[in-house]
Amino acid sequence: MDTEQTRLEIGTIILDWTSWVLWRDLLVDNQGGAGVRIPNHAPGVYEVRYVDHEGAERLHIGRTSNLRMRIRQGLVRGASGHSTGKRIRRDEDFSRPVVRLATTERPGAAEEELHRLYRREFGCLPTLVT
């Protein structure tokens, strides 16, 4: 049987994370500069943790092709489906979760590596990863 091989050499991805933003602050649109600016139509990754957990423990690590739509409309507001966002909106005090994000043209590869690093440190995926 003939086999074919493909060698993938996936290069370095550098994520420039935003500061951690309070969940409730993401509810406010940025029209007129009042809310938090989230890049629209930009691919990237995002993480959710509790404000009082300064360490590396995360509730969720996710990827998207549109950060603004996924974070503001899906995760925070629930206007589009997001199972983690639904669980947080149902179970959490909105003063506790914080979110950060980073744009990247390779969100799938970045998320996979973030999950791998998280598993190596904690022995499992983040609490609310489905």
Q: pLDDT higher for 53 or 19?
A: 19
% of the chain at pLDDT higher than 90: 47
36 vs 106, more confident: 106
- pLDDT (mean) for 90-116: 90
Tell me the residue range of the domain where 42 lies.
Answer: 21-122
Q: How many domains does the chain have?
A: 1
Mean pLDDT, residues 12-25 taken together:
92
In a domain, 26, yes or no: yes
Domain membership flag for residue 40: yes
Q: Looking at the domain assignment, is residue 12 inside a domain?
A: no
Contacts of 129 by beta carbon, 8 Å cutoff, 6+ apart: 60, 61, 62, 84, 115
Q: Average pLDDT of the chain?
A: 87
Tally the C-alpha atoms within 13 A of residue 126's C-alpha that lie toward its C-beta. 22
66-99 in b/e form (b: 16+ CB < 10 A) is: bbbbbbbbbbbeeeeebebbeebbeeeeeebbbb
pLDDT band at 109 (very low <50, low <70, confident <90, very high): very high
Residue 1 domain-assigned? no
